[in-house]
A and B are shown apart, each in its own frame.
Chain A
Amino acid sequence: MNASPNPKRLVAVQFAVMAVVAFLAGWLTSRLGAPAEIAIRQVAAVSVFACIICATLMFEERRLGVAFVGISALLALRVISLSDFVKSTELHIILLLVGMMTLVGVLKDMGLFTWVIQSIINAKKMTGFRFVAILMLLSGIMPGIVDEVTSIVFVLALVFQVCDTLKLRPTPFVLMSVMATNIGSTGTMLGNPVGILIGTKATPTPLSFGDFIVHATPIMFLALAATFLLLMVYYRKDIKLLDERLAERRASHIGLGPMVAIPHKSGLAILIGALAFIAAHHPLEEWLHLEANTMLVAAPLTIAGLLMIFRSHRARHYVEVSVEWWSLLFFMMLFAVSAALEGCGVTDVVAEHIAPEGAANKYLLTPLIVGITAVGSAFVDNIVFVSTFIPIVKEIVATSPEMQPLWWALLFGACFGGNITAIGSTANLVAISMLGKKYSIKVAFWEWLKVGLLVGVVSCGVAVGVVLCYFR
């Protein structure tokens, strides 16, 4: 008997589930008691949002299609006007990401990442402990410089090289890298689209790159250190084996890969220059009397533009291949749906339920926001949750200004929660896909959940504790 389900039937069932969930969400929304004209818009917006969540959960490859159809429905039903739709797609965030992705494409071409990997694998006196420490530190820092997806692709190349050469089981080291990547993605504003979204949307004033360095980076490092200690214990057997194999190689004076002179200096100079330019966005904006975060968008675009001018033979490649258009288009649709939810008052209602006016308590709300977004992000793309929660947090902060640290709670909950399950973040999905392609290894849902839940609880605990203590 063939046990595998009929693919067509499976898709039909998934669409049926999506329709039922959308209907139930819409029906519940209709019970909110809004006037008929608003209620219709609220039902439509919530139903479309439910469809997008279902599509993200059940069929990744169809989620953009579902988002396109959903937005079209919202436009046709006048839930959102065409001009509001265009405004709400957050083109500045998209262009910032396009600029960064182009920069990463150039740096990859120029051999900067190759040089970093080669330097690590040929490091003298490498031990198991040192390798894991370097791996997790690199995984934690890299997403803050380049995005989390680029970072994980780059770090896993290092993991695969070491595991292939030393004949080690790659899964523990892949999981360590991914978990450090998700944590590290909170370190700077560029680490995760969620950071850019929160930074540009935060109230009463948007957060700058510098704000992230001052407030988010230390918390990220604390959570990373806690996770490192936890994983050192959890994967102690694999690390011990790595240590033994490395010792054998050291005794034979054999490296883990070829050693060649990589021309890395230009790439490194470009990266440092780009980061300095981006980090200086806030003083530049003040000096030029520009709107907040104007230079945050202009800086990567300027750098990407200059690089494309100087490397014109590869310019088309950078734009067409290095830029993740699939994800960016999905983000645009999602931002518009969130704007529709906000526009028809759904998020106000949710905010009022979470924190009734005058009753906001940060000792209650901080763990609540971290908890809700962490659990939500464990199953749905974190940007879906964050874009929905932004209007809610905005509403809470508007009524209780002392609740401003909730922006950080939102950031850490959404990113750290991504570690809980294998589908919790884009980096997880990329890592699983790379592991499957290279080794035909599948990471069981429970295998990930066991360690992911531990890491999620510990890192979220650190975040809640520090946010509550630090922002008194």
Chain B
Amino acid sequence: MNENATSLPAPDQPLASAAVFTEDEVLCHTKITDADKLFETLVGVLSVRDPSFNPVTALQTLRAREAAAPSFLAPGIAMPHARLEDLDRTLVAVATSPGGVHFAASKEPVRLVILVLTPAAAPGAYLSVVASISRLLRQPTFAEEVIAEKTATGVEALFRGAHRDPSLPPYVCAADMMAPPLATLRESNSVKDAIDLIVRTGFTDIPVVDKEGDLVGVASAQAILGVCLPDYLLWMEDLSGFSNFEPFETLLGKESSTWLADITDDTYAAVTADRPAIAVAEAMARRKTNICFVTEGAKLVGVVTLKRFLHNVFRD
């Protein structure tokens, strides 16, 4: 697999953004219980830090975005966000509420709200914040520690504490964008297994892994079609003579005994998890495919579909 390397920042290069918030943008143990009211308050706080954006537009955008797709990172943790055209940097405000804030889309009260405003023309900005916060939340006690903290200074300190740098990462990684592979095939599977899986899941490209979980290829619905209707059959002016799926009969009769290798394509789009997310787009564009596999070494760890990529970049 060859992907052109995208240049990474040098280790000593300063991060793209400095700390994303200060204690002034933290609302600790708020009594507000209505999500909409909390948005108003947090947007008001951020407009003090950066008066360049229009708070009314920001609120409208936030509400519309939240109505379209609620943004819960985990149960009890929300990360509402909006992209604003008149903003030129990322702004973050944090609110904690041990009693919980009511969000229409959540049955469970939300106790930690991280509101994010990003420039409209910087698709990576929001993803950077999500990536950064997600990494912090992976630590089991972190969210509870933040919610329990009674002072804004303490909350900020928790984010800024040792090994808990609230700065934005220099870029969004493939790992930040991937989803776990929901369906995989083994080299030892048959074409029948592949067809069953494609039909059952609706996925059109299934990664094929070996015993160690290393990615070895992709079995696709198009490849199955190609086995039944190879190029040389399509040379004919029309195939209307085959009215009963004759070209499929050979495969149908042998699908259990036909090795998956017959339809496994070893030219696929793949990037390693630490590569910038743009490499995912590059790999898909170069391979003219709708799916990119994410690996750690050779091991398959996730997938990014083109749909997911476009959603993350243009709509998140």
Contacts and interface: CB of A to CB of B under 8 A. Distances in A.
A155 to B, nearest CB: 11
A258 B248 contact: yes
**Interface size grouping (class) on chain B:** 20 to 34
A113 B246 contact: no
A314 B247 contact: no
B232 A158 contact: yes
Interface string A150-184: 00000001101100010100000000000000000
A110 interface: yes
A171 B246 CA distance: 32
A53 B250 CA distance: 51
B257 A252 contact: yes
A255 interface: yes
Contact of A113 (B235, B237, B241, B242): B235
Interface in B200-219: none
Interface in B236-285: 236-237, 241-242, 246-251, 254, 257-258, 261-262, 266-267
B233 interface: yes
A113 B141 CA distance: 69
Contacts of A262: 236
A110 B237 contact: yes
Contacts of A158: 232
Nearest to A109: B237
B79 to A, nearest CB: 40
A440 interface: yes
A253 B247 CA distance: 18
A111 interface: yes
B99 interface: no
A111 B236 contact: yes
Nearest to A161: B230
Given A165-B262, A263-B241, A440-B267, A258 B235 contact: no
Contacts of B235: 108-109, 111, 113-114, 157
B220 to A, nearest CB: 13
Most A Cβ at <10 Å: residue of B229, B235, B250: B235
Interface residues of A, number: 28
A312 to B, nearest CB: 13
Contact of A260 (B231, B247, B258): B247
A258 B233 contact: yes
B230 A257 contact: yes
Contacts of A109: 235-237
B227 interface: yes
B232 A161 contact: yes
Contacts of A307: none
B59 interface: no
Interface string A248-274: 000011110111111100000000000
A260 B242 contact: yes
A167 B257 contact: no
B80 to A, nearest CB: 43
A259 B230 CA distance: 11
A217 interface: no
B137 interface: no
Contacts of A421: none
Say whether chain B's binding surface is mostly helix, strand, loop, or mixed: helix
A387 interface: no
Given A257-B230, A258-B227, A110 B250 contact: no
Contacts of A259: 250
B262 A260 contact: no
A113 B232 contact: yes
Contacts of B249: 258, 260
A24 interface: no
B122 interface: no
B228 interface: yes
Contacts of A255: 250
Contacts of A111: 235-236
A314 B247 CA distance: 25
A118 interface: yes
Interface in B80-123: none
Contact of B236 (A114, A165, A254, A439): A114
A284 interface: no
A261 B246 contact: yes
Contacts of A108: 235-236
Nearest to B229: A258
Given A254-B258, A261-B246, A160 B231 contact: yes
Contacts of B262: 165
Contacts of B251: 258
A117 B236 contact: no
Contacts of B228: 258
B239 to A, nearest CB: 9
Contacts of A157: 230-232, 235
Interface in B168-207: none
A118 B235 CA distance: 12
B237 A114 contact: no
Contacts of A167: 261, 266
A439 B287 CA distance: 11
Nearest to A118: B232
Given A258-B250, A259-B250, A263-B241, A114 B233 contact: yes
Contacts of B258: 254
B188 to A, nearest CB: 14
Contacts of A257: 227, 230, 250
Nearest to A245: B261
Interface in A420-472: 439-440
21 contacts: A109-B235, A110-B237, A114-B233, A117-B232, A118-B233, A158-B232, A161-B232, A165-B262, A167-B261, A253-B257, A257-B227, A257-B230, A258-B227, A258-B228, A258-B229, A258-B246, A258-B249, A258-B250, A260-B247, A261-B246, A262-B236
3 closest A-B pairs by CB: A109-B237, A258-B250, A157-B232
Interface of A: 108-111, 113-114, 117-118, 157-158, 160-161, 165, 167, 252-255, 257-263, 314, 439-440
Given A113-B235, A258-B227, A258-B249, 10 more contacts: A118-B232, A157-B231, A160-B231, A167-B266, A252-B257, A254-B254, A257-B227, A258-B230, A260-B242, A260-B249
